[in-house]
Every structure is written in structure tokens, then in C-alpha cells.
A = this chain, B = another copy of it.
């Protein structure tokens, strides 16, 4: 389910921020991201589910922001598009008969949870407006 989700979503939102009064079509957005319009619409579906944007079907349809870019933090976008940041897990279940194998995933999860807290804290201090102003 799309590993560039965050990047694509923030790209979409930056475009919407630059044209706050227009409904941008998925094809227009896809042209900027360089991605298939269907995938853009999938990410937009996610944004809609989270009440960040609204979209209008039919001719001259498209998508626009539902709220001000200054009211959307990057942490919100992060949480919408990422379960959690991890440094990964081994694919197979480690050996539960080994004291290390038995606990490794729990201990890694704890570590990763701390990392996520730090990232969230950092991202909640940046708004979509801040990010968009860099362009």
C-alpha cells in the first residue's frame, strides 16, 4: 500500500495549498507528482476519509482543501500515511524458545515507539503552511 504515501500526500497537499480556491483534478496533480492518476485518487480518498480535503465529481471536478493549511500539521499527515516509523523487523517470527528470540520484537517495538514519539513531536511543530512556504 504505497511506500511513498507520505511524500505523495504532502505533495498533493502542497499543490492544494498553492491553489486553495480551485478544485484540482487528479490528472493535474499526477502531472506534478509524476504518478498515475489512479494512485493520486487513492491518496485523495485517504485525505477525504480524514476530512482534510473535499472533492467534487463530474466535469470541472477535483479536490480542494477543507481547512486552512495553517491548521494542518505534518504530524497529522504522518499519522494518516504511516503506521509507525520503524527500523524494521526480521520477516520471520524469531525462535520463541530462545530468550533473545522470544523478546526481541517486543524490545524493538518499545525502541521504535520512542522514536515515533520524537518524530511526532518534531512534526507537530510544522504546519502544511510552513512546509508550503518553502516553495
Contact = CB atoms under 8 A, between A and B. Distances in A.
Interface of A: 3-8, 10-11, 14-15, 18, 31-35, 74, 78, 81-82, 85, 87-95, 98-101, 103-104, 107-108, 111, 114-115, 118-119, 122, 126, 131, 134-135
Contact of A108 (B7, B35, B82, B104): B7
Contacts of A100: 11, 14-15, 18, 32, 135
Nearest to A119: B115
A98 B31 contact: yes
Main secondary structure, interface of A, reads helix
Contact of A104 (B7, B82, B98): B7
Given A33-B101, A95-B32, A98-B32, A134 B107 contact: yes
B118 A122 contact: yes
Nearest to A99: B135
Contacts of A33: 90, 92, 94-95, 101
